[in-house]
Amino acid sequence: MAVKGTPIWGCAKTPYSRQGISDLGSARSGLALNLSLRKWECCCLRVSLAQRAITPVEDEKPNLPGMESAGAIERIEDNESRGFHKDMNLLPKPLTAADISPLPNDGSKVRVAYQGLPGAYSEAAALKAYPKCETVPCEQFEAAFKAVELWLVDKAVLPIENSVGGSIHRNYDLLLRHRLHIVGEVQLLVNHCLLGLPGVRKEELKRVLSHPQALAQCEMTLSSLGIVRINADDTALAAQMVASTGLRDTGAVASSRAAEIYGLEILSDKVQDDDDNITRFLILAREPIIPGTERQYKTSVVFTLEEGPGVLFKALAVFALRGINLTKIESRPQKQRPLRVVDDSNEGSAKYFDYLFYIDFEASMADPRAQNALGHLQEFARFLRVLGCYPMDTIP
């Protein structure tokens, strides 16, 4: 019934192609994508609210009350009015999924990719995991995955869930699409600040920019001030937009580090509705780490189940029977096989959603209990893949 002594890193009863799962192969095979190489250079990020779409990165786009389009903001053309902010020519240009460039590296630092601009919370998570690392901003989550696969960076740090906003569904889908391994996690306590131009009081603000999740997490504070909320791709970009446009009646919800980088003032600290606002990030690498038992480990897996009543109950029971604690369960519809057809002699055929199940549990793959549990799970699963086994982060 169980597989003993041998770690299970991935198995499937049918080929991945039948499950809607792509295998990108080795990281170096990405060179076949015919990506042109150019020098990594720093340039000024001249972002115009009228030219750049400022929509949320996640799949879900919450409809926040009082929100208006970015076109409602007029850009100030007077360059002298923007002399307050720091020289943004020194900031690195974010990588995009379509335009990945090799980075200069002297081998002395770990290079860590993250989504967003300098000052984003993802950058803070990368620096918490690797305090002396070289952080590499990426425009999209997809670009961060590809940067690791193409050996342009060593690691990527990406958000996976927030204690208030919930799961980042886009990154769950990308975990399955790409062949990277989870090698660690970072829990970061998020402190939202209301930022504005120097000399501006928060009562003068008429609108505020930020990522939709950040805006939702500060709903009570922003509502009390009567401020119109406007979506931006990430919190650091919102701060950069305020600095670039020079509009005194426009603020941003972002980190204190973003205020320092873009020359803004903190008008109010801890404006989030819930003080215990924690985001969990995953650290991704090309190769898995060798799990041990000397400290607390967490293992993440994804699987699909055979048809039948009570199959999910049986799948989860394999962990309970061995005293293994589940810390997270997430279900996602299969993209290329969204419906399952079940024949019924009385009613004809019925269609149901077909799901992938992502599970995190507290056990190391070096622990025989975890090996036996996954061996038992194979009896019910059509597909099973271990996404990573990594040390737990218990300190936000």
Compute the distance between CA of residue 350 and CA of residue 339 in angstroms, rounded to an integer: 10
Residue 356, φ and ψ in degrees, nearest 5:
-100, 140
Residue with tokens 């750049």: 52
**Residue 279: active-site member:** yes
Q: How far is CA 117 from CA 86, 113, 258, 309, 312, in A?
A: 15, 11, 9, 47, 41
Pairing of strands 134-138, 297-305: unpaired
Helix (H, G, I), strand (E, B) or coil at 33: helix
Q: Is residue 251 within 8 Å of residue 271, measured between CB atoms?
A: no
Residue type at 33 in one-letter notation? L
Helix (H, G, I), strand (E, B) or coil at 156: strand
**Residue 361: active-site member:** no
> What is the maximum alpha-carbon separation in the chain?
77
Q: How far is CA 93 from CA 46, 63, 117, 167, in A?
A: 10, 30, 8, 28
Encoding tokens for residue 263? 């020359």
Compute the distance between CA of residue 322 and CA of residue 162 in angstroms, rounded to an integer: 29
Q: Is residue 338 within 8 Å of residue 302, measured between CB atoms?
A: no
Q: In Å, how far from its chain's centre is CA 331?
A: 17
- The single residue of 279, 299, 319, 361 carrying the catalytic annotation is 279
Pairing of strands 348-353, 339-344: antiparallel
Pairing of strands 228-231, 207-210: parallel
H-helix or E-strand spanning residue 169: helix 169-177
Task: Name the packing angle between helices 368-377 and 311-320 (round to 10°).
Answer: 170
Residue with tokens 């930022």: 195
- The single residue of 145, 281, 303, 361 carrying the catalytic annotation is 281
% helix, strand, coil for the chain, step of 5? 25, 30, 45
Q: Which residues are the active-site residues?
A: 279, 281
